[in-house]
């Protein structure tokens, strides 16, 4: 997903008139929104205008409202690490608050943050869940528009610092290249340490736009075959989907 530049192109596409420009910045009226996703489908930057802006203090107030009912917070996106200074301030505020000591601070990320960036936020985070959407550079480039060298470096760095909570692999039939590279992938995973949780996600066609809407959804047999190949290579801490489309 790209970053919204407030071009305003999505405003006329909204059937609920929930979008407008306020001082040159896109504004979303959540009370009018019917969650139809038309604006996302029409956005030339594959972004979303459905965002709200908070200061760290405002987000801390919201966090405190729910703190008694949760064990931690997970920031996701889009790509949450694109707002690294904000994340650092938010996590730091949680870690310094005596009444929020029970909350873990986790990041759900595509792994493209630099090692310098991970080093900056590491003192305030408890872990990260990282996506590796394909093994080879070329295949990853095809699927996501970017290579995966930096992502692999992030995964290794986080694992070495006991901050890799989960490695996520997205299985897309005929697209992802995990099985063709199963030996290299398994060696990589085994090098990360025994306790790393591998979560295999099944690609769902539903709700996907653009070229990917023509890709096949992954079924249980695809995931079972893939996890069997990992188990054969001593990777046993695996979570597979509960439901398939
Ligand atoms: S969401 Fe997309 S179309 Fe709408 S203002 Fe942002 S960049 Fe433009
Ligand atoms: S999802 Fe987007 S297009 Fe649909 S109602 Fe909400 S703001 Fe409007």
Taking the CA of 8 as reference, the closest ligand is: 1
Ligand 1: which atom is nearest the Cα of residue 9? 3
pLDDT (0 to 100) of residue 55? 97
* Mean pLDDT confidence for 94-112: 97
- Answer whether 245's CB lies under 8 Å from 229's CB: no
| pLDDT over threshold 80, residue 221 | yes
* Secondary structure (H, E, C), the chain: CCCCCCCCCCHHHCCCCCEEEECCEEEECCCCCCCCCHHHHHCCCCCCCCCCCCCHHHHHHHHHHHHHHCCEEEECCCCHHHHHHHHHHHHHHHHHCHHHCCCEEEEEECCCCCHHHHHHHHHHCCEEEEEECCCCHHHHHHHHCCCCHHHHHHHHHHHHCCCEEEEEEEECCCCCCCCCCHHHHHHHHHCCCCCCEEEEEECCCCCCCHHHHHCCCCCHHHHHHHHHHHHHCCCCCEECCCCCC
Supply the mean pLDDT for the chain: 94
Confidence of residue 189 (pLDDT cuts 50, 70, 90): very high
- As a whole number of angstroms, the distance between CA 129 and CA 76 comes to 10
pLDDT (0 to 100) of residue 169? 98
Q: pLDDT digit string (tens) for 167-188?
A: 999 999 999 999 999 999 999 9
Q: pLDDT digit string (tens) for 75-87?
A: 997 899 999 999 9
- Burial of residue 65 (CB within 10 Å: 0-12, 13-18, 19+) is exposed
**Residue-wise burial string across 91-130, b where 16 or more C-beta atoms lie within 10 A, e elsewhere:** bbbbeeeeebeebebbbbbbbbbeeeebeebeebbbbbbb
* Mean pLDDT confidence for 99-125: 97
Domains, the chain, with CATH or none? 1-52 (3.30.70.20), 56-239 (3.20.20.70)
pLDDT (0 to 100) of residue 245? 76
pLDDT (0 to 100) of residue 126? 98
- What is the CA(125)–ligand 1 centre distance, in A? 31
Q: pLDDT digit string (tens) for 29-79?
A: 999 999 999 999 899 988 899 988 899 999 999 999 999 999 999 999 789
pLDDT (0 to 100) of residue 162? 96
CB under 8 Å to 158, separation ≥6 — which residues? 118, 127, 128, 130, 164
| pLDDT over threshold 90, residue 194 | no
Q: How many beta carbons lie within 10 A of that of residue 21, not counting itself?
A: 13
* Mean pLDDT confidence for 235-245: 91
| pLDDT over threshold 90, residue 205 | no
- Answer whether 161's CB lies under 8 Å from 123's CB: no
Given the structure tokens 């910045």, which residue do they identify? 25
| pLDDT over threshold 70, residue 1 | no
- Answer whether 16's CB lies under 8 Å from 34's CB: yes
Ligand 1: which atom is nearest the Cα of residue 42? 3
Taking the CA of 32 as reference, the closest ligand is: 2
Cα–chain center distance at 72? 17
Given the structure tokens 């909350």, which residue do they identify? 103
Among 8, 38, 48, 209, name the best residue to mutate to test ligand 2's pocket (greatest count of ligand atoms within 8 A of Cβ).
Answer: 38
């Amino acid at each position: 997903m790209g970053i919204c530049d407030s071009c305003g192109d999505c405003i006329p596409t909204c059937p609920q008139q929930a979008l407008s420009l306020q001082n040159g910045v896109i504004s979303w009226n959540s009370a009018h929104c019917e969650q139809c996703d038309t604006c996302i489908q029409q956005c030339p930057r594959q972004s979303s205008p459905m965002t709200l802006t908070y200061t760290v203090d405002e987000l801390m107030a919201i966090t405190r409202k729910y703190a008694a009912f949760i064990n931690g917070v997970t920031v996701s996106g889009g790509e949450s690490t694109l707002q690294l200074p904000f994340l650092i301030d938010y996590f730091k505020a949680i870690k310094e608050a005596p009444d929020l000591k029970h909350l873990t601070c986790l990041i759900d990320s595509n792994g493209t943050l630099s090692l310098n960036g991970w080093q900056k936020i590491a003192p305030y985070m408890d872990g990260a869940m990282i996506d590796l959407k394909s093994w080879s550079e070329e295949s990853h480039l095809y699927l996501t528009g970017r290579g995966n060298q930096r992502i692999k470096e992030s995964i290794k760095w986080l694992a070495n610092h006991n901050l890799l909570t989960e490695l996520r692999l997205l299985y897309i039939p005929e697209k992802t290249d995990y099985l063709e590279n199963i030996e290299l992938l398994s060696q990589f995973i085994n090098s990360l340490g025994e306790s790393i949780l591998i979560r295999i996600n099944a690609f769902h066609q539903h709700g996907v736009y653009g070229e990917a809407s023509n890709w096949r959804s992954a079924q249980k047999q695809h995931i079972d075959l893939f996890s069997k190949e990992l188990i054969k290579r001593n990777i046993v801490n695996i979570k597979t989907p509960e439901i398939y489309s």
